[in-house]
Every structure is written in structure tokens, then in C-alpha cells.
Structure 1
Amino acid sequence: MGDEMPPNPRRATLATVAASAGVSVATVSKVLNGRSDVAPTTRSLVESLLQQHDYVARRSEATGGATIELEFDADINAYSTEIIQGAVDTGAEVGVGVVVSIRRGADRTSAWARGLVSVGRRAVIAVTAEMTARQLTALARANLPLVVVDPLNLPRTDVTSVGSTNFAGGLSATQHLLSLGHRRIAYLGGPATAACNQARMHGYRAAMEAAGAPVTPGYVREGHFLYNDGVELGAELLDLPQVPTAIFAGSDETALGIIEAARARGLRIPEDLSIVGFDDTQVARMGSPPLTTVRQPLREMGSVAMRTALRLAAGEKIDSHHVELATELVVRGSTAPAPAAAG
């Protein structure tokens, strides 16, 4: 039942905690500031009540420094830097700081939420994060607005999120390969439970079905949108008895890994194998050959997330809890007509 509690409508004050403890407001303040002139038993009682009341000290209100927490649950990569750039640029325009951090899901606790507020955060932007009901409740109790970018899951329909038209992107990527005469097309995506991956995969399947091209058993694989997934799982695809002539990868990093797996097997890109990525990060343009990919407007997504977080922090209402920005196929050198011998 604790996970389903609504946001705390009234923030506890120093006076609330002091009254509960039977001490003065000054004593509670001393405990918060780590002063030593408080009896151990009193300190223990006050600390317990501070936690019980979910008290959060807003240091930013004293210093005037508003900041937004931009959190990632994995190491920073080419995808991440595009999101960061969009958020930072927007923050600079409006005079709001952005603090970038890496925090795994298990690290998001009530203490985490209270700590963010105590150091001046006004909202949290979580990128490709999997948020639990307990974590959402911790943020609500701390009165910290949340915006999720490219969410892996949406445990509640009222969670504000920013994404892209993943289904349309998967559809256009596969239709491009089909238009080049490919029929043996595989999909190597991300986690099975990730909403963005599901949408891209369904776009792929919809295009294949509309073209009457059956999906060969073993042609759909799940990874984590990483380069090593492309190397390892791409190798599995290329070692199948019926080798695909084209692969749609769920990220640019995965696509570059597939290219490496293909080269290790003496396959030429794109003469023997066509590859389409997803994201259009800098690595797509620097690939050899440059990567055909589905462009996500990543910087714009970071910017929209930032502006939305600031509106929520200001208590404004937003028109929609979920915003999807348009994707676009960008054709470069990693795709070509299917080999003449392919059936």
C-alpha cells in the first residue's frame, strides 16, 4: 500500500518536527546543521522525526541557486551527450543550472529524493530510466517534479515523459530496406521490456507483414542498445544457417557493433550486408561507411524535457503527460540493394 500513497500535500516544517519532539525550533535547526551541542538522545529523536515527517531542507531557497538534476542510469555515451547538450543549452537560456549524474535504479530511495531537494534541485530529468512506484512516491513526497526521457517503462499513466515516434521510426527503417529488395531482414534491439524497444520492433514487424516478408525464426534479438551487443549478438545473426542480408539495429552503437561482427566474417558493408541504426548520434556520421539511421531529435528532447521540468517546478499545468517528437530516416552509405543471389 505504501507505494500507492499520493503526493504529500503539505510539506513538514521545522516547527512541525519541533512540536513532535517537544523541543525548540532552534534545537531542530542545530541537528540539521550538524551542531555538536545537542544531547545524543535528543539528536536521535529529532533525526527520527525528520525522517518520519519526510522533512526536506531547501538550501536553494537560501542561496537562490535553482538547479535541475539530469540523471542517467548507465555510463555516458554518444546518445547521452546529445540529451545533455539540449538540456544544458536550454538551462543556459533561462539561467538554470544542470547537474548531470549517474544513478542506478536501486540508488533512488527516499533519502535520495530528500537529498536532492536539500542541495537545491527543483526537478529531476531521468533518461532511459526504469522508475518503480516506490521511487515515484519518494519524489512525490519530496515535492520534486519528474520528467522521464525515452522511458524504459511507465508504471503510472501520469508520469511525464518525452520520447520520439519509435514505431514510425522502426517502420521507416524497415520499409527502406524492403524498398532496396531485402527480404531477409533481422532486428537487433534493446531490452524486451523497454517501451521504446517494443515500439521500434513493432514498427519493424508491421513493415515486414505489410510487405508479405516473413520474419525468419531467430531474426529478432534483444540486447541493451550497446556496441558489444552488436558485436556479440550480431555475430549470432550472421552465423545463422540463413544469413540476413540486412539488419535493423535499435541504436547506432549496436549498428556499429554489427559492422565489426560483419567485417570479422569477411562481409562487406553495404555490398553483402545492409545496416540501419537508430538515434543519429555523432558516431553514425563518423562510421565507415557512414550509417543510415533513424534520427531521433535528441537535443530537442533534452530541451523539451528541461522546459517541461521547469514548468512543473513552477507549479504550472502541462498540456500532455507524454510528448513524442518526430523521427526521420537519414540515408547514408551503410545500405544498398540486396545482393542478387539473395532470395
Structure 2
Amino acid sequence: MTSIRDIAKMAGVSAASVSRILNNDQTFSINENTRQRVIDVANKANYSTDKNRRGVRSVGDDLTIALIVRHSEESEINDPYFQHIRLGIEKEAAKWRLRVVRAFRMHDEDKDWEQLQKYGAVIMIGDMTTDALEKIYGYNQKLILVDNYANHPKYDCIQTDFDAKTHEILTVLHENHHENIAFIGGLGSKVNMAGQSVRYTEEIRAEHYREWMKLHNLERFSAVYQGNWSTEDAVELAEQMLATTPRPTAVVVASDPMAVGVYKAISDAGLKIPEDISVASFDDIQMAKFMVPSLTSIWMNAEEMGRLAVTLSKERILGERSMPIRVTCASELKVRGSVGKRSSLNN
């Protein structure tokens, strides 16, 4: 049941102000825009001043955010980055008395697309093909994309700065005299309307690795190993990398769960980090600082990304903004023991 306090929270005014506005208190002087905002929020929440009716009413669909996610609960456990985004969405929505419903997962074969039109906004975590995005947009134009790197000018979009951070990691490695630097990561992919993954090699970190190596005249060392985003695949990819001659003296890994696999392959080969090969990664999961040696990694406040998605949704729901915006979230490089200077014994 939506209360006066809920409406006050959403509208950014006191509960007393809401009460006087909704009860049409003619003696109450308040800005007309504020008055209208309170009325709009109350209407969207299906609020009624009739006490006999309030008990059967609940938060309306106009104050509900539909969530479309790519990852299963199991994969969220394996890569908590996406779990933290979702948790941020749920926490921020609760703060503003907004409801969040799971519309469907991208990989579901049967999707109820039409339901999206009844909700106040739609948040999508991940990426779908252009035709799938267009279909969603056709049902609900208040669409917020999270962790999406495509150029979609008509949608709100929240992105990381992983392109710039890839360059920063490589610069740090280069300053430690590394030139033969490899890259291990997962393939980029989008999900189509049928729920199938469409894979491609142009993943953002891999692309900016290639760009940096070219800009620094190190293309002769450029080597990209890509597969599934799993620890097991990372072990195999790292074994391929370590079998090359000359062997790389450093490697950039696209995610910490994959870095765990890289650590294992390096250890199995009888090599040491960072004496034989330096390792840097992305995500900075909780265990990164406890790995031996501690893992150099990029930290992104994924939960705050989720909270930001709700802020953009709230602006859209309340009609405070109609212009699509693109937000780039800043991450932080945490240099730890897995990165060292290239020794004279290295290639």
C-alpha cells in the first residue's frame, strides 16, 4: 500500500505538504510545479485519499521498474560484478519506494515483451542485439542500459571507463619495462530476440589492448586469447599463451575470475608471479587482495552503477527529464603484488 510518506519521498517534499496538496487545502501556498509533481506521483501510485479504498491499493505499475538481466543466479555467484549491479538497483529502488520486478532473462526462449509497456521504466543489465533493443523500446521508451558499450543515442546508458583503464594498466606495465604483453579475456557477445548469444571478438578491453599496443609500436607482441568468461577457459588460454616463444612477461586479464585460472596455469608451469610474468585484471573481487601474490585489479563500484540506473529511471518516471544521457562511471586501478618490473631474466 502506498502511503503519504512514500509519495513525499518520491516527490522530494514533506509528508505534511503531500497531505495538504492531496486534500486540496486552499490555504496552503506552494510552488505550482511542486504541487503538480506531487499529484503526478500520487496518480502513478494509484493513491486515493478515500481511506476506505487505500487498503486495497498498492504501488502502481507506473512506479515499477522492469528488470531485464542477462546472467543467471549461478553465473552471478561466479562473477559478482553483475550481482552487485542488481543489488544496487534493488536497494536504491527500495529507498525511493519503487518496486522492481524481474521481467525476464535475456536467454529465456519465451519472453513476454508486451508486459514492458505497463511499467514506469525498464533497466537492462547487459546487451542485446539492435533489433531486440528496438523491440523493447517500442513497448517502453524509458529504457536504461547498464554495462552496455554500444552507441545507442536514444537510450539512457551507463558505462564503465574500462576502455581508458585498459590503457592505464598497459601504461603501468610498460613503465615497469614490459613490452611483450598478452591479453586474456572472454569473447564479446549480445543476446538476440530468441535468447541466443551472438559472439564477436571486439570486446571493449580486447579492442583497447590492441589499440594501445599499436600506438606504442608493440604490435609484434600483440596477442589476444579469447574464450568463455570462465576460470576453466582461462586456464587453457593461459597455457596457450605460456607455450609461445618468446613468452610474454606480462598479461592483462579481462576479469578476476579468469585471473584465478591464469594464476593456476602459471603455477602449474613452474613459473612465479611477478618474477616471471606480471598479471593485472579487472573487477577487484573480494578475494583479489588475498590471492598470492595479491592481484592488481581495476575496482568499479558496481553497486553504485545499479543505484545510478534507478536515479535515471526515477527521472524518467516522474517526467523530470526526456533527453537521453550517457554516463561513464570512473573505476580505480589497485596496484598490488602481481605486477613487478621486468627482470633481466625475462624475455
TM-score by length of 1: 0.71
Does residue 222 (structure 1) correspond to residue 226 (structure 2)? The answer is yes
Q: CA deviation at 1:73?
A: 1.2
Q: 1:130 to 1:302 in 2, by over 3 A?
A: same
- Matched with 2:343 is 339
Please tell me whether residue 151 in structure 1 is matched to residue 148 in structure 2. yes
Q: Is the 8 A contact 1:124 1:145 kept in 2?
A: yes
Residue of structure 2 equivalent to 1:186: 182
Taking a change above 3 Å as real, the CA distance of residues 103 and 275 of structure 1, as seen in their structure-2 partners, is same
3-state DSSP of counterpart to 1:270 = coil
Selected match of 2:139 from 133, 139, 142? 142
2:167 maps to: 171
1:327 to 2:323 alignment: no
1:206 deviation in Å?
A: 4.0
- Aligned pairs, number: 278
Return the offset for 1:172: 0.4
RMSD, aligned α-carbons: 2.9
Deviations 1:240-265 (A, max 9, x none): 23221111011112212211111121
Instruction: Measure the CA separation in 2 of the matches of 1:224 and 1:60.
Output: 43
Q: Is the 8 A contact 2:284 2:299 kept in 1?
A: yes
Aligned residue for 1:324, secondary structure, equals strand
Tell me which of 254, 258, 269 is aligned to 1:254: 258
Q: Is contact 2:65–2:120 with CA below 8 Å preserved after alignment?
A: yes
How far the C-alpha of 1:60 sits from its partner, in A, is 7.7
8 Å Cα contact 2:89/2:309 also seen in 1: yes
- Residue 271 (structure 2) aligns with: 267
> 2:174 & 2:159 partners in 1: Cα distance?
26
Paired amino acid for 1:175: T
Q: Aligned-pair distance for 1:318?
A: 5.2
SS at 2:245 equivalent: coil
Contact 2:184 2:252 in 1 (8 A): yes
Report whether the alignment pairs 1:317 with 2:321. Answer: yes
Distance 1:328 1:258 in 2: 22
1:203 to 204, 208, 219: 208
After TM superposition, give the deviation of residue 107 of structure 1 in Å: 3.8
Per the TM alignment, residue 222 of structure 1 is displaced from its structure 2 partner at its CA by 2.1
- 1:132 shift after superposition: 3.2
Alignment check: 8 A CA contact 2:163 2:204 kept: yes
Unaligned 5+ segments in structure 2 are: 1-43, 47-56, 191-199
> Residue 104 of structure 1: CA displacement?
2.7
Q: Secondary structure at 2:120's aligned position in 1? A: strand
**After alignment, is 281-290 or 77-86 more displaced?**
281-290
Question: Which residue, out of 67, 71, 89, partners 1:70?
Answer: 67
Q: Mean alpha-carbon deviation: is it higher for 172-181 or for 304-313?
A: 304-313
Cα distance 1:319–1:275, how it changes in 2: closer, same or farther (>3 A)? farther
Aligned partner of 1:174: which letter? Answer: L
**Closer, same or farther: CA 168–152 of 1 in aligned 2, 3 Å:** closer
The percentage of aligned residue pairs carrying the same residue is 27
Superimposed CA distance per residue, residues 33-53 of structure 1 (whole angstroms, 9 cap, x where no aligned partner): xxxxxxxxxxxxxxxxxxxxx
Instruction: Give the 3-state SS of the residue equivalent to 1:276 in structure 2.
Output: strand
Shift of 1:116: 4.7
Aligned equivalents of 1:325, 1:318: Cα separation in 2 = 21
1:113 aligned partner: 113
Structure 2-normalised TM-score? 0.70
Would the alpha carbon gap of residues 202 and 140 (structure 1) be closer, same or farther in structure 2, given more than 3 Å must change?
A: closer
Question: Contact 1:82–1:281 (CA<8 Å) still a contact in 2?
Answer: no
Q: 1: CA distance between counterparts of 2:184 and 2:230? A: 11
1:40-55 mapped onto 2 (5 Å cutoff): none
Cα offset for 1:286?
3.7
- Give the whole-Å Cα distance in 1 for the aligned partners of 2:100 and 2:133: 21
* Local SS of the residue matching 2:221: coil
